[in-house]
Amino acid sequence: MKATKLGSHIRNEFPLFANNKKIEDGQIKPFSYLDSAVSAQKHISVIKAMSHHLEYDYGSVHRGAYGVSVRSSQMYENTRTIVANFIGKSVKPEQIVYTRGTTESLNILANGIAEEYLQENSRIVIPVAEHHANLIPWQQVALRKNCELAYIPFEGKIGKELRLNLSEAKKLITKNTKVVSLAHVGNVIGQINPIEEVIALAKSVGALVVLDCAQSMTCIEEDVFALGADAIAFSPHKIYGPSGIGVLAMSKELIERLPPYTFGGGMISDVTLEGSSWTQGPAKFEAGTPPITEVAGLGAAIEWISQVGKIHIHDHAAALAAEFLSKVQEIPDIEVFAPGTGQETIVSFRHKKIHAHDLATILDAENIAMRAGHHCAWPFIRFLGVDALIRCSFAAYSDKDDIELALAAIKKASKIT
């Protein structure tokens, strides 16, 4: 298959870019979107799939015997197969649960695992760098169950030291460890965590492994279930699809053993005035009317990514990130927090004289979007010794023009301090 040209060659396939150009002093300022780590822009095929579903096929799933409900239900279930294949060959459609996002998925896992697997003094192990969505649920579970929550540190705070300390992980993952949960790819600095090694450590003591794959599903092709993961979570809005929907994939054991997290219609086997029993499979976790149209968008997003190729997208974005890193760290007063392995698609940095939020506002005036703040990872930000960072993230539609525009804007901001 011939590689699709990315960057500016496909930007017209993402309508938002054409609709957000600025005209200033007669000059067009293109929209430079460098915040895909928070949420990617939507491909036209996703927009069309969702619009078509709403116009022609919308009906509540598993509720009616009439045409639109049947077609919606078929699309809804067929997309489980698309999602399963996207995750890996070892994954089956009956392991796929639709949720409202990665955050809900991780809460389902934390609460269910707490109920079925954790006892007093059980150990939960997570890295210090986790997103709040993969930290707070475990923190709350540890408090409720009187469990021990242990944090894997990083080797250091600069350059290639910004990686998990596997020596410390070996010490922390002990025989009383019941679950190890970590991001496949970090959301603050974009490090690719050594999940194969961590999974092996966890399995050596019989612990469950949960992976937050929110940042990795467009760039990593590993079948993580074949490596030994027990559950993963990701959000379609980060893979060029819609928001308001998440994916939770679990081992057959977890699907069967974990209790439901939300109760209501669609997830029951029987209800009497005295009690209720639950259905089996993914439906047990899908109470109420699910995000039906968003499932249509998810299927379209995966089909587009599969056509272009995960590795192709990753290599494109990583090359741009590496180029930006090499140039931005040459600007006086810029301090970079990046592993710099050439595989990251994120570069985080700060200006020593301009607060991150102020710099983000200055960049916005130049029609450049970057996120500033603690990136939903307060403990890691404090570990790095800063109060906020600017995060620049690259995607399939990013190009070298974005780099040059961003660098020029940062240099311009430096001159006014």
CB 252 within 8 A of CB 95: yes
Same domain, 287 and 359: no
Name the one residue in this structure whose structure tokens are 């990046």.
Answer: 338
- From the candidates 147, 213, 219, 376, which is the catalytic residue? 376
Q: What is the CATH number of the domain that holds 154?
A: 3.40.640.10
83 and 200 fall within a common domain:
yes
Same domain for 197 and 213: yes
Is the distance from CB of 276 to CB of 268 less than 8 angstroms? yes
Q: Indicate if 313 and 303 belong to the same structural domain.
A: no
User: Given this model, what pLDDT does residue 27 score?
Assistant: 77
Q: How many domains would you assign to the chain?
A: 2
Residue 392 annotated among the catalytic residues of the structure: no
Q: Tell me the two tokens of residue 371.
A: 């996120």
Within a domain: residue 41? no
One pLDDT digit (tens) per residue for the chain, 417 residues? 457 899 999 999 999 999 988 877 767 889 999 999 999 999 999 999 999 999 999 999 998 999 999 999 999 999 999 999 999 999 999 999 999 999 999 999 999 999 999 999 999 999 999 999 999 999 999 999 999 999 999 999 999 999 999 999 999 999 999 999 999 999 999 999 999 999 999 999 999 999 999 999 998 888 999 999 999 999 999 999 999 999 999 999 999 999 999 999 999 999 999 999 999 999 999 999 999 999 999 999 999 999 999 999 999 999 999 999 999 999 999 999 999 999 999 999 999 999 999 999 999 999 999 999 999 999 999 999 999 999 999 999 999 999 999 999 999 999 876
**DSSP letter (8 states) at residue 36:** T
CA dist., res. 160 & res. 139, Å (int): 28
- Look at residue 109 in the predicted model and tell me its pLDDT: 98
Give backbone dihedrals phi and psi of 248, rounded to 5 degrees, phi first: -125, 120
Same domain for 407 and 335?
Answer: yes
Full residue range of the structural domain in which residue 181 is found: 48-307
Centre a 10 Å sphere on the Cβ of residue 289 and count the other Cβ atoms it contains.
13
Residue 230: helix, strand or coil by DSSP? coil
Measure the CA–CA gap between 265 and 334, rounded to whole angstroms: 54
How many of the other CB atoms lie within 10 Å of CB of 9?
12
User: Which H or E run contains 27?
Assistant: strand 27-29
How far apart are the C-alpha atoms of 242 and 296, rounded to whole Å? Answer: 9
Structure tokens belonging to residue 238: 């980060």
Same domain, 276 and 324: no
CATH code of the domain in which 357 resides: 3.90.1150.10
301 and 313, same structural domain? no
Rounded to 5°, angle at Cα 141 from 136 and 143: 95
Out of 292, 307, 322, a domain closes at 307
The answer to whether residues 62 and 74 touch, using CB atoms and an 8 Å cutoff, is no
